[in-house]
Structure 1
């Protein structure tokens, strides 16, 4: 006669595998390979600004969540933006720092902000934002655990065209002096 047990059965392994330890050892590498969106670069004014004027830059990153499988286990990852580094394209780098900046009302463009930049030269510049994310992970719906390091992700470059402006004062208009500087058909002295 044979007796079968319908309850849970334990299988003993002399060398048990610590899946949590394996995941913890690989999570930083996996975190850095996730398709985390660094956020977009926003400039005010844009796409053109003026040499010598404050150009406000800000980012729009968001917390992101991912479900991945590691070592046959369900792992939930949460990535939270924590620091920002701005490369303004003219050799100036600002950061890492905690402010992502923010928009200004149009009537306040040109004000200095935490993330604004003044270009000394004219031309087209590629502005790149690198966002650092801190992460947590949980295995099989367990408690969230911190990912030991940060992941750094770059946004698509944003081209900003820096122009110059010239201001001149005139005593009369083109109706009074059709040959005056700036009138149609009159050669410029630039």
Structure 2
């Protein structure tokens, strides 16, 4: 959960607007809002929800000194916010942060300067916050790849070691005319081994074994009880953060689940026979490499 304290300032007027973002919704001023699970719409919630993010944030106009005063030398080198995503001009801002609830805590520079492009910046971040989870789940996140040892063939009854190769990914999207940077980090994995067995979600992505240890049981290995071809599917759960116009990274509520393309594993059976012939003395003996088949 994250609380944003936004300070919107002009040369003639100052307005403080408090905005909070919850795991299930957001807050505006003294009101708390949540997303209705049935309709997907924001509705006013009962008061008393506590914020757990240890920090609070605000943005200020770049070069602003407070009240109606500005730093004149700073204005000469102020960031230009032209040609926004929709062609409009924006406002240059810097982001500040401080620990929430600490008496006497001082605002410190967090990031920026950067630009905000919106005719109503005071409710820009709540609009993005209300839509960020849907945007996150629609991203082309690569779930990773499935690696099997041995592969593409394994033996019935033997442990086949499966592991995932998945990585953090970053995306830049435009939301309500703003540049939003999203970071997706894998943290849970679900294995569908194709024979009706599912393992997960759980935090282990597994790992490779040296060839002389193939067949050992591992956290993510599986032993097939029947022969045939099976489609192994990895589903990776990602958690994410987002930042608006290079602002502070904020947590995305909920998670995104993405599945990798299935990998075929062929399960064979092994046969063991004992023969009495000495292949050195009789190369054509039963079971010898040179014997007629």
Q: Which has the higher strand share?
A: 2
Q: CA RMSD in A?
A: 2.1
Write the distance in 2 (CA, Å) between the matches of 1:35 and 1:9.
Answer: 45
SS in 2 for 1:29: helix
Q: Of the candidates 162, 173, 180, which is equivalent to residue 68 of structure 1?
A: 173
Deviation track 1:152-187 (CA, whole Å, cap 9, x = no partner) reads: 00001100000000111222235538463567335x
* Structure 1 alignment gaps of length 5 or more: 1-6
State yes or no: 1:176 paired with 2:282: yes
With normalisation by structure 2, the TM-score equals 0.57
2:229 touches 2:264 (CA, 8 Å); kept in 1? yes
C-alpha displacement of 1:140: 1.0
Partner of 1:39: 144
Aligned to 2:207: 102
Any gaps of 5 or more consecutive residues in structure 2?
Answer: 1-9, 16-119
Indicate the residue corresponding to 2:254 in structure 1.
149
Equivalent residue in structure 1 for 2:159, among 54, 62, 76: 54
The number of aligned residues is 177
Is 1:91 equivalent to 2:209 in the alignment? no
Given that 2:278 and 2:285 are in contact with CA atoms closer than 8 Å, whether structure 1 keeps it comes out as no
- Counterpart CA distance in 1 for 2:194 and 2:200 is 14
Aligned to 2:245: 140
1:80 to 182, 185, 189: 185
Tell which has more relative contact order, 1 or 2 (C-alpha 8 A, sep 6+): 1
Q: Distance in 1 between matches of 2:121 and 2:236?
A: 39
**In structure 2, how many angstroms separate the alpha carbons of the residues matched to 1:78 and 1:26?**
16
Cα distance in 2 for residues equivalent to 1:133 and 1:71: 24
User: Structure 1 length as normaliser, TM-score?
Assistant: 0.86
Aligned to 1:3: none
* Distance of 1:61 and 1:9 partners within structure 2: 52
Q: Is this contact kept in 1: 2:283–2:291, CA < 8 A?
A: no
